[in-house]
Amino acid sequence: MENHNLSLTARETQVMESLIQGLYAEPGFSDVDARDLARWTKISTRSIRGVLSSLVQKGIISIEGNESGYQIIYLNPGYWHLHPEWAGEKPYFTWGEKEL
């Protein structure tokens, strides 16, 4: 993953690279959760949650629960340019209360 002038720690970069690799479907879709990232990065789930909290605070990702009880991690549309296949795509859905 290129820097893109983001101020990320080494661990945040590692988690973001794994997240982006796990986002295999159409722009905006995710089925990735913290356990997936822990397995892919070999970082404990507890540490992953800390990294995810930091990425949420930076506005790079969002985490939402689904019907199955999983906490799904989404790459926020303002950062789709980090994903090699999503770069240049425009959001076509509502995110929270804001129309994108």
- Spans of all domains in the chain: 10-86
Distance CA 11, CA 34 (A): 14
What does the pLDDT profile of the chain (100 residues) look like in tens digits? 555 678 899 999 999 999 999 999 999 999 999 999 999 999 999 999 999 999 999 999 999 988 888 899 999 999 999 999 998 877 665 555 444 4
Q: What is the pLDDT of residue 96?
A: 53
What pLDDT is recorded for position 93?
A: 55
Parallel, antiparallel, or unpaired for β 71-75 and 61-65? Answer: antiparallel
Choose among 52, 46, 100: nearest CA to 28.
100
Residue 71 · residue 64 · CB < 8 Å: yes
Tell me the two tokens of residue 99.
């129309």
- Architecture per CATH, domain 10-86, reads as Orthogonal Bundle (1.10)
Q: Looking at the chain, which runs of residues are DSSP E strands?
A: 61-65, 71-75, 94-95, 98-99
